[in-house]
């Protein structure tokens, strides 16, 4: 195997809105190898590779290709240096065919003659390259009719036919079955053995052990260590990834009350099949935290519990109501259920309505603001003004301004203010402190604990393990669409980390 560096990043730092995503990070990939980049969500893996792909410019540090310093001002620059990145969220035009999508991405138009002739020539090239890689793919098929695995093959063909010899794959097996993942990783390993370089951004220890020649671990935006995966145990990789075990926080877990919410064998019946038999019990007076690497069904679970469109089988039983999936929005409000989804603009706020209207909308049905024909506008404004002050919602020049004008963090504060305005009995929250600064995050955490102490049942879903460990009385780890392990707090961080990344 060649020892020459294909790609080298040294001393890379990058901030976003004051948040230090990367701090003096280093990484190198050699020709002929698969180099895994391992870390938790938020460790900086994708940010570092987005710099290598020309999407971000580093604030400090250098990028070398074949030991020559380069400046990558755009993905087109990276492509000229034969770097191609397949992102976790695909960038395909769904109504177009496979060949049309690939044609859009090529630096030079293939063949000669009319568009139809050039497209036909490209279709032959795609079929030939797909056969070489062992991909089964019809170049004339429309992308929106393809499975997730087939769409990923299109993305890989797109960068390879554009000339990539340094291939970056961001969480490539996150949405694949075990068999699809094995086929894909075997293919890219063969590609590397032919003299290319492959960077495998992942959280899956088994993939690292089986397919990677080297592994670099990142944590908190920094490079922790680069080592031979065959010379280190999975336990040591987990320790490097999540950090040392330590007692987390001084607050003792609460004593739970009676079971309030029982989820049994909750399974997706459409789409990706992200939920595969979720079982969990949430008690009154308890914060139940769900930890896990993104893409393991957390979003689908949150949507199912919050009543957002998510076709499922199984049971979501709320005491004493019954199956919560049968509850209307008005019934959920009457049951004092607070829902704080991760997608605050798409699922929690109406951006074209005012700040006051978005706050009041949760109580329009109970008569507090009068009837639809005769709204008590001043009471609505007074309540909204009090909530904005109590929850420190910044950027509100007028209560009549559109909610869409709020920053993400302040939109989150407005959602939380509304959902907490009715003394909730059950709180369902996904990524509660996303977009919030440290002070605001602490305030939200304090409110969740206060609600727990007042007897509410609180479910916190977060990809931030520190947040889950700081809040939860009991932790369930979600992996592969189900709860694979549960821990009473204080819990062992390494044990949680191992459950998050194990793929038995």
Contact present, 469 and 489 (Cβ < 8 Å): yes
Return the ∠ at Cα 170 (arms to 166 and 173), rounded to 5°.
115
| Helix (H), strand (E) at residue 57 | none
pTM metric for this prediction: 0.62
Q: Residue 479 pairs with which residues in a beta bridge?
A: 482
pLDDT of residue 397: 84
The span from the CA of 35 to the CA of 104, in Å, is: 29
Going by the DSSP 8-state scheme, the letter that residue 144 receives in this structure is: G
3-state secondary structure 271-308: CCCCCEEEEEEEECCEEEEEECCCCCCHHHHHHHHHCC
CA 433 centroid distance within chain: 14
The span from the CA of 480 to the CA of 483, in Å, is: 8
The three-state secondary structure class of 492 is coil
pLDDT by residue for the chain (504 residues), tens only, comes to: 457 999 999 999 998 767 788 999 999 999 999 999 998 767 889 899 999 999 999 999 999 999 999 999 999 899 999 999 998 778 899 899 999 999 988 877 666 778 888 899 899 999 998 888 888 889 999 998 887 778 888 999 999 998 899 999 988 876 666 677 888 899 999 999 999 999 999 877 888 999 999 999 998 899 999 999 999 998 888 888 877 644 344 355 567 789 999 999 999 886 667 889 999 999 999 999 999 887 788 888 998 999 887 788 899 999 988 888 888 888 888 899 999 988 777 788 998 999 999 998 877 777 778 776 777 889 989 999 999 999 888 888 889 999 988 877 788 889 999 999 888 999 999 988 876 665 677 788 988 999 999 999 999 998 888 889 989 999 999 998 999 999 998 888 888 988 887 765
pLDDT of residue 106: 85
147: number of CA atoms within 13 Å, CB side?
A: 11
pLDDT of residue 503: 61
Contact present, 493 and 245 (Cβ < 8 Å): yes
C-alpha pair distances (Å), 305 with each of 101, 278, 343, 475: 37, 12, 15, 17
The three-state secondary structure class of 422 is helix
Contact present, 283 and 455 (Cβ < 8 Å): no
Strands 457-461 and 426-430: parallel
Q: Residue 321 pairs with which residues in a beta bridge?
A: none
3-state secondary structure 156-190: HHHHHHCCCCEEEEECCCCCCCHHHHHHHHHHHHH
Contact present, 285 and 452 (Cβ < 8 Å): yes
The span from the CA of 102 to the CA of 267, in Å, is: 35
Phi and psi angles of residue 287, each rounded to the nearest 5 degrees, phi first: -105, 115
Write the burial class of residue 393 (CB in 10 Å: 0-12 exposed, 13-18 middle, 19+ buried). buried
Write the burial class of residue 394 (CB in 10 Å: 0-12 exposed, 13-18 middle, 19+ buried). exposed
Q: Residue for token digits 């699922």?
A: 347
Q: What is the DSSP string of 15-32?
A: EETTEEEEEEEEEEEETT
Two tokens, residue 438:
């440290």
Contact present, 423 and 389 (Cβ < 8 Å): no
Spatial strand order in the sheet of 60-65? 19-30, 5-16, 60-65, 68-70
SS3 content of the chain, % helix, strand, coil (to 5): 40, 25, 35
The span from the CA of 210 to the CA of 157, in Å, is: 23
Two tokens, residue 414:
């407005």
Strands 276-283 and 259-268: antiparallel
pLDDT of residue 248: 41
Contact present, 155 and 91 (Cβ < 8 Å): yes
Going by the DSSP 8-state scheme, the letter that residue 342 receives in this structure is: S
pLDDT of residue 250: 39
The span from the CA of 475 to the CA of 455, in Å, is: 18
The span from the CA of 499 to the CA of 129, in Å, is: 38
CB contact set of 236 (below 8 Å; sequence gap of 6+): none
Nearest to 470 by CA among 250, 243, 221: 250
Nearest to 301 by CA among 345, 339, 348, 268: 268
474: number of CA atoms within 13 Å, CB side?
A: 20
pLDDT of residue 252: 53
C-alpha pair distances (Å), 500 with each of 221, 347, 462, 463: 20, 27, 12, 10
Instruction: List, in order of start, the domains of the chain with CATH numbers.
Output: 5-242 (3.40.50.300), 246-336+424-504 (3.40.50.300), 350-422 (no CATH)
The span from the CA of 157 to the CA of 135, in Å, is: 9
Two tokens, residue 352:
């074209």
């Amino acid at each position: 195997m060649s020892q020459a560096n294909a790609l080298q990043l040294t001393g890379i730092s990058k901030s976003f809105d004051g948040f230090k995503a990367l701090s003096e990070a280093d990484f190198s990939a050699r020709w002929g190898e698969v180099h895994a980049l391992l870390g938790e969500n938020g460790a900086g893996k994708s940010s570092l590779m987005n710099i290598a792909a020309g999407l971000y410019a580093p604030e400090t540090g250098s990028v070398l290709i074949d030991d020559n310093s380069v400046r990558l001002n755009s993905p087109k620059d990276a492509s000229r240096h034969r770097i191609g990145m397949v992102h976790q969220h695909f960038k395909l035009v769904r109504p177009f065919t496979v060949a049309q999508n690939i044609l859009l991405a090529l630096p030079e138009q293939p063949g000669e003659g009319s568009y139809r002739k050039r497209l036909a020539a490209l279709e032959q090239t795609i079929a030939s390259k797909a056969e070489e890689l062992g991909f089964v793919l019809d170049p004339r098929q429309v992308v929106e009719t393809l499975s997730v695995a087939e769409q990923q093959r299109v993305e890989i063909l797109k960068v390879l036919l554009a000339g990539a010899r340094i291939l970056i794959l961001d969480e490539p097996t996150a949405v694949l079955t075990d068999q699809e993942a094995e086929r894909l990783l075997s293919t890219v390993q063969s590609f590397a053995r032919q003299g290319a370089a492959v960077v495998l951004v992942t959280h899956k220890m088994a993939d690292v052990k089986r397919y990677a020649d080297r592994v670099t671990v990142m944590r908190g935006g920094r490079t922790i260590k680069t080592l031979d995966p065959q010379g280190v145990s999975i336990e040591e990789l987990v320790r490097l990834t999540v950090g040392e075990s330590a007692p987390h926080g001084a607050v003792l877990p609460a004593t739970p009350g009676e079971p309030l919410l029982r989820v049994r064998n909750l399974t997706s019946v459409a789409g990706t099949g992200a939920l595969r038999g979720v079982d969990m019990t949430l008690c009154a007076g308890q914060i139940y935290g769900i930890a896990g690497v993104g893409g393991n069904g957390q979003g689908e679970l949150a949507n199912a519990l919050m009543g957002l469109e998510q076709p499922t089988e199984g049971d979501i039983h709320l005491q004493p109501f019954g199956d919560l999936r049968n509850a209307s929005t008005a019934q959920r409000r009457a049951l004092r259920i607070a829902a704080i989804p991760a997608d605050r603009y798409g699922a929690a706020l109406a951006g074209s309505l005012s700040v006051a209207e978005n706050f009041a909308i949760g109580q329009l049905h109970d008569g507090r603001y009068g009837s639809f024909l005769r709204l008590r506008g001043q009471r609505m404004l007074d309540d909204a003004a009090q909530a904005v002050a109590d929850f420190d919602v910044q950027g509100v020049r007028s209560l009549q301004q559109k909610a869409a004008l709020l920053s993400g963090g302040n939109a989150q504060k407005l959602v939380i203010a509304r959902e907490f305005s009715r003394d909730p009995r059950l709180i369902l929250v996904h990524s509660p402190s996303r977009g919030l600064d440290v002070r605001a995050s602490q305030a939200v955490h304090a409110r969740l604990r206060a609600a727990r102490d007042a007897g509410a049942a609180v479910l916190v879903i977060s990809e931030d393990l520190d947040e889950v460990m700081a809040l939860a009385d009991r932790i369930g780890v979600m992996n592969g669409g189900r709860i694979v392990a549960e821990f009473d707090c204080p819990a062992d961080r390494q044990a949680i980390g191992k459950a998050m990344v194990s793929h038995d």
